[in-house]
Amino acid sequence: MSLETHVNSKLVDSLPLFELESHIQNYTGRNAIDRLLFIADRCAPLAKDALTLAIGSLKQTADVNRYEDAVERLHEIAPHDPRATIDTVWVDEVSKATRSTGDKLELELKSYKNNLIKESIRMGNSELGDFYFSIGDLSSASKFYSRQREYCTTHKHIEDMSMDMIRVAVYQQNWSQVETAMSRIDALPSKNSDIEPYLKAVRGLWSLAQSNFALAASTFLNVPVESLTHFAPKSRQKVTYTITEFVTVNDVAVIIGLCSLASYSRNALKDLLDNNANFKEILESEAHIRTLLDSFVLFDYKSIFSTLEKHKTDYMLDIWLADHVEKMFDRIRENCYIQYVRGYKRGYLDKMAARFGVSQDDVEKDLIALIESDKIPVRLDLENKYFLFKSADERADVYDHVMSIANTFERNGRLLLVNIGVLRGGLEINAKPESSGFELKKKALM
Amino acid sequence: MDPQFSFLTVLESIDYDGTEDAVAVALKEKVLPILQANATAITSSSEGSLNVNITGASAESSRSGSKDGGKEGSAGGSRDTEKTLLPKYVIAKKHQDDILTQTDPARVSALWILALTAKFGNQTADISEFFSNVNRLLDNISGAQAKLVPEHYRALLYMIVGASDAIENPNLLLRPLLNAALSFSPSHDMLSPAHALFLIQALKAKQYKLALQLLKYDVDKFDSAYGLTYQDHLRFHYYGAMVFIGMKQYEKAIEYLSIVLCAPGFPCSMVQIEALKKTILLQLILYGKHALRLPRMANDFTSHSYRAFARPYDHFAVAFENGDPTVLKLVWNQINNIFSADGNYGLALHSLTAFRKQRIQKLRKTFITVPMEYIESKDIDILENGPSTKGFVLAMIEDGDLRAKISQKSSTSPIIVVFQDGSVTSSHLDELEAKLDSVRLLNEKIAIADREVGQSREYLSRKLQSASAPGGFLSRGGGLEDLEGYDDSMMEL
């Protein structure tokens, strides 16, 4: 698949179920803007609205670059829109203000450095990091945050620094940096328990980014619902570390729902629905996920697929889920097949097709692919159109096993004997100058 | 005293009814000294006659002969001096015909070897007379006596091969060579100079079945004292593997090749690289994959060199394992000339058929019954010159490569392949029983080898060294002077 078609396959041309303006109100700050720009990228019908909203939000920030980009993009699709021209007065004003703030902070840092006051240098770097973050220069922010490191004197400082770095890295989706910062926090002898849920959620996003759905589901399941609905306690005055900065409780419900459908067995999922109070509460925010999971438990695969299809556009426009939707859907279908087949000694393909709401040929094709990749232990009878559960022939297995052990032993034993003989007889290969090991040319061999 | 008289008298005085070894010892003690005493006069002519122009082996023996010529007079009982003097046992012309006409080759094989190498060593010799004499000798040869004159024996064998090559008839002396190889040791488990040569000739003559008569005995005893080098060992096992390939006994071929691959020493030999190439193809044919599972005993250095030399084969193996016919075809088109340059084209072609077979065999894991149509849609004949899918499947069923039956409800309905389940039968159990027996036997052999190594001089002296470390109760050399100069391989002479 070429890069272009790869990108195209992620574009959406239908409208999502949500209403853009109210949907985006769930998010704040940079994440809201990121989401708007993302939607503008992926969904042409919503591009204009999304850009307009984004421009409005960007004007509340000092992020001049992204403001200009957004306006340009709006200009491309709606040249006559009044918001499609750059507000130069605002841009000049903000640029000037940021430049002077930046200069002032750098100057301060320099003087701290001259005075060699560790704590002030650390604070100076931290403030510069915050400053660059506020104007949208994430790589500079990350640079200054990381420079605090050698000036940290307490565990708390290291924790704060790592949290700052994690935050920036998540925005950049730079997971290796997240990993480094997380391990730094893990290495601390004690840490603030308030940040636990936040770290868990980040870890969940990270697993999702790696398409490790099972891990993503189990990690998010451990994020307490309170931390998703309330703002976490402020750890410092200026920044709050809240999960809601990245995901809302609705998003988490969807992520857990889809990930568990893709990777959990029916029993595990049933157990989850029955016994996990935290999950139950999370689920309350997304009714369609609850329905999906119930359908899975009740073997109602047809409705799973139709519900998934109905919400597909929504998922495709979520900044975290978008790139994994196709893969997730494939895995969910696989999982459904696996759960279905498990109950049968012999099952007929036409019934199965009806259950899944697909054609018999599709079922056949899917099953063959699953069997060939060793995911389902059945064999197909294409003449009579049924599948049969593979029964293990233990006698044959034991026989094969014993034979293979005996063969290996025999081979190795022979080798050992020959090599002992060779060494004792003085026939090991040697590189005497007059008869090097390479002198045997092909001619002598043939 | 007339030297001829004493020589023949001495020969007659030996008791030929004793064991083979006793005769050999008598010859060594009584006859060879006489020859040695007479040999000085003809040293110069013998040098020339021994230069059999075939390979380094005989050249090396004559080289060592001339180098150590000065020590000639100091004949001692130790093996080293004896070895350098052996090329000097060249029989004077007048004795040559006496031996060849008046003695029995079975009784005095060593003398026959000396006489033959002396008489026919030059290029102008009468080839038919040579063949008839060699035939007589090799049909009756005593291995114990051949060991008395290893350099000459080796030279004679190379002369035989050279002569059969000259008349382009590898068949001519095949059986005598086989006999020579088999007679070298009574249990047939010791490598002789004839082993590899016999296999080369058998391969040239395509006499694989005859070659198996030698290969049915596993060789695990070696001794460089008989003029053998590591090349004899590597070649014997490499050619042995080629014979097994010719007989389509691929498991056995892999076993022989792995012996080559794991040969101890340094650096790696060309033979080992050729062995690796064949191993890769064989593993693909047998198991459908090649994980370069070199046995643990192969040393790191050699396995690294292997990879560098056999890279195209690795590419082919990766494509093969991947299972995508189009990719495999692409790779094949790129590198099939390498296969033919290496003389592995036949084996490589065979691996392509194996690839096709394995793809069909794999279907049994997925299906109980499958329409022929489906197989046709999946089956790809990479070279596009094999039988049709239907013919191919039928042949596989016929050859026992696929446990399945063909069924068709009526003449117009689709053809269905019905896979059948295998189960453990009594023949399987017999096989298992036989395998366990052979493992038991092997275990005993290993235990014996272990004991022998434990008693060998090298091992004991190393043990002694560690025992003489501070705290050890034996000082170095203390208590084991008796073993000095002891070499257990001498016991076999």
pLDDT per residue as tens digits for the range A409-445:
888 888 888 888 888 888 878 765 444 333 333 333 3
Q: What is the dihedral of CA A230, A232, A238, A244, to 10 degrees?
A: -60
Task: Encode pLDDT of B330-339 as tens digits.
Answer: 999 998 899 9
Q: What's the gap in Å between the CA of A348 and the closest CA on chain B?
A: 14
Strands A378-381 and B367-371: parallel
| Span of A93-102, B124-133, B411-420 with lowest mean pLDDT | B124-133
In a domain? residue A71: yes
How many domains does chain B divide into? Answer: 4
Best of A410, A440, A442, A446 to substitute, by most chain B Cβ atoms within 10 angstroms, is A440
Q: Within this chain, do residues B120 and B200 fall inside the same structural domain, yes or no?
A: yes
Interface A-B: count of C-beta contacts within 8 A: 179
Helix (H, G, I), strand (E, B) or coil at A238: coil
Contact B39, B88 (CB under 8 A): yes
Residues of A in contact with B264 (CB under 8 A): 419, 422-423, 428-429
pLDDT of residue B366: 86
* E-assigned strand segments in A243-310: none
The region of weakest confidence among A416-420, B169-173, B217-221, B369-373 is B169-173
Confirm whether A18 is domain-assigned: yes
Mean of pLDDT values over B401-412: 84
Q: Are residues B271 and B325 in the same domain?
A: yes
Q: What is the mean pLDDT of residues A359-364?
A: 89
> B62 and B153 share a domain?
yes
Within 8 A of A419 by CB-CB distance, chain B residues are: 262-264, 297
Q: What pLDDT score does B387 carry? A: 85
From the list A407, A415, A441, the residue facing B270 with the nearest CB is A441
CB burial of residue A89 (10 Å; 0-12, 13-18, 19+): exposed
pLDDT value for B298 = 64
Whole-number pLDDT of residue B66? 34
**Residue A368 corresponds to which tokens in the numbers above?**
């063959």
- Lowest-pLDDT choice from A128-142, A350-364, B245-259, B416-430: B416-430
Reported confidence tier of residue A92, pLDDT bands at 50, 70, 90: very high
Q: ipTM for the complex?
A: 0.73
pLDDT category of residue B303 using cuts at 50, 70 and 90: low
Extended strands (E) in A113-246: none
Query: Hey, are the CB atoms on A427 and B224 less than 8 Å from each other?
Result: yes
Instruction: Tell me if A403 and B435 make a contact (CB, 8 A cut-off).
Output: yes
B243 within some domain: no
CB spacing of A396 vs B258 below 8 angstroms: no
Sort out which chain B residues have CB atoms less than 8 A from A417's CB and list them: 220, 442, 445-446, 449
Q: Average pLDDT of B134-140?
A: 78
pLDDT for the residue numbered B292: 54
Place of tokens 């995911």: A375
Residue A284 belongs to a domain: no
pLDDT: is A163 or A392 the higher one?
A163
Chain B residues whose beta carbon lies within 8 Å of the beta carbon of residue A442: 270, 274, 343
pLDDT of residue B155: 77
Environment class of B165 (CB within 10 Å of its CB; exposed 0-12, middle 13-18, buried 19+) = middle
The arithmetic mean of pLDDT across residues A88-109, rounded, is: 92
Question: Both B354 and B462 in a single domain?
Answer: no
CATH code at position A399: 1.10.10.10
Chain A residue nearest residue B447, CA to CA: A417
Helix (H/G/I), strand (E/B), else coil: A10? coil
Q: If you measure CA to CA, which chain A residue comes closest to B296?
A: A412
List the single best residue of A389, A402, A429 to mutate versus B (max B Cβ within 10 A).
A429
Is B237 inside any structural domain?
no
**Among residues A34, A59, A86, which one ends one of the domains?**
A86
Does pLDDT of B171 surpass 60? Answer: yes
The tokens describing B361, both together, are: 């065999």
Instruction: Work out the average pLDDT over B277-290.
Output: 87
Under 8 Å between Cβ of B150 and B110:
no
Contacts by A130-134, CB closer than 8 A, 24 or more apart: A130/A164, A130/A238, A130/A239, A131/A98, A131/A101, A131/A102, A131/A105, A133/A168, A134/A61, A134/A62, A134/A63
> What domain range includes position A391?
344-415
Q: pLDDT tens across B97-123, in order?
A: 667 776 777 777 777 777 777 666 665
Q: Does the residue A31 lie in any domain? A: yes
CB environment A189-200: b (16+ within 10 A), e (fewer): eebbeebebbbb
Residue A198 lies in a domain: no
Q: Are residues B87 and B192 both part of a single domain?
A: yes
Residue B240 placed within a domain? no
pLDDT at B92: 61
Is B456 part of a structural domain of the chain?
A: yes
Cβ count within 10 A of residue B168:
8
Question: Which of A272, A309, A308 lies closest to A292, judged by CA?
Answer: A308
Residue B238 lies in a domain: no
Out of B224, B231, B295, whose CB is closest to A440?
B231
d(CA A30, CA A137) in angstroms, rounded, equals 12
The residue among A25, A58, A86 that closes a domain is A86
Q: What is the pLDDT of residues B370-398, one digit of tens each?
A: 888 888 888 888 877 878 888 888 888 88
Of B37 and A254, which is predicted with more confidence?
A: A254
> Please, is A230 exposed, middle or buried when counting C-beta atoms within 10 Å of its C-beta (0-12, 13-18, 19+)?
exposed
Determine whether the interchain pair B295/A412 forms a contact, defined as Cβ–Cβ distance below 8 Å.
Answer: yes
> Chain B partners of A422 at a C-beta cutoff of 8 Å?
222, 230, 233, 263-264
> Are residues B357 and B463 located together in one domain of the fold?
no
On the question of pLDDT at B491 being above 50, the answer is no
**What phi, psi does B405 have (nearest 5°)?**
-130, 155
Q: Decide which of B174, B193, B228 is a domain's last residue.
A: B228
For residue B320, which of B291, B278, B277 has the smallest C-alpha distance? B291
- Chain A environment of B267 (Cβ under 8 Å): 429, 431, 436-438
Whether residue A395 and residue B423 make contact (CB cut-off 8 A), yes or no, is yes
Q: Are residues B74 and B218 in the same domain?
A: yes
DSSP for B91-121? PPHHHHHHHHHHS-TTT-HHHHHHHHHHHH-
Q: Torsion angle of alpha carbons B276, B281, B287, B289, nearest 10°? A: 80
Q: B137 and B270 in one domain?
A: no
For B25-61, how does the pLDDT look when each residue is reduced to its tens digit (9 = 90+)? 777 776 676 666 655 444 434 433 333 333 333 333 3
Q: Are residues B209 and B126 in the same domain?
A: yes
Question: Any idea what the Cα angle at residue A234 is, between residues A231 and A238, rounded to 5°?
Answer: 115
Average pLDDT of the residues in A347-376: 88
**pLDDT higher than threshold 90 for residue A212:** yes
Q: Is the pLDDT of residue A91 over 80?
A: yes
B241 assigned to some structural domain = no
Considering the domain architecture, whether residues B324 and B387 belong to the same structural domain is answered as no
Nearest CA in chain A to B295: A412
Of A67, A86, A105, the residue at which a domain comes to its end is A86
Residue-averaged pLDDT of chain B: 73
Q: Which amino acid is at A196?
A: E
Tell whether B484 and B391 lie within a shared domain.
no
Residues 6+ apart with CB under 8 A from B113: B137, B145, B146, B149, B152, B153, B156
**Mean pLDDT, residues A15-25 taken together:** 87
Distance between CA B444 and CA B450 in Å, rounded? 10
Asked if residue A208 has pLDDT above 90, the reply is yes
B95 or B227, higher pLDDT: B227
Q: Determine the pLDDT at residue A392.
A: 67
Answer whether residue B242 is part of any domain.
no
A264 SS3 class: coil
Q: Given B255, B270, B274, which is nearest A414 (Cβ)? A: B255
Domain extent for B456: 432-492
Please give the pLDDT value at position B49. Answer: 38
Q: What is the pLDDT of residue B432?
A: 86
Give the nearest chain B residue to A427 (CA atoms).
Answer: B230
Å between B232 CA and nearest CA of chain A: 9
- Hey, CA dihedral for A107, A112, A116, A122, is it positive or negative? negative
Closest alpha carbon within chain A to B489: A425
Residue A28 CA to residue B376 CA, distance in Å, equals 59
**Contact between residue B151 and residue B87 where contact means Cβ atoms under 8 Å apart:** yes
Tell me how many domains chain A contains: 2
For residues B108 and B145, the answer to whether their CB atoms sit within 8 Å is yes
Does residue B386 share a domain with residue B296? no
Taking CB atoms and an 8 Å cutoff, what residues of chain B touch A418? Answer: 219-220, 259
pLDDT confidence of residue A13: 81
pLDDT-derived band of residue B94, with 50, 70 and 90 as boundaries? low
As a whole-number percent, the residues of chain A with pLDDT over 90 amount to 31
* A134-171 pLDDT per residue, tens: 888 999 999 999 998 888 888 888 988 999 999 999 99
State which H helix or E strand residue A347 sits in. strand A346-348
Q: How confident is the model at residue A101 (pLDDT cuts 50, 70, 90)?
A: very high
Contact B61, B20 (CB under 8 A): no
- E-assigned strands of B342-433? 367-371, 404-407, 416-419
pLDDT at residue number B421: 74
pLDDT band at B5 (very low <50, low <70, confident <90, very high): low
- Which pLDDT does position A242 carry in this prediction? 78
Give the pairing of strands A378-381 and A386-389. Answer: antiparallel
SS3 state of residue B397: helix
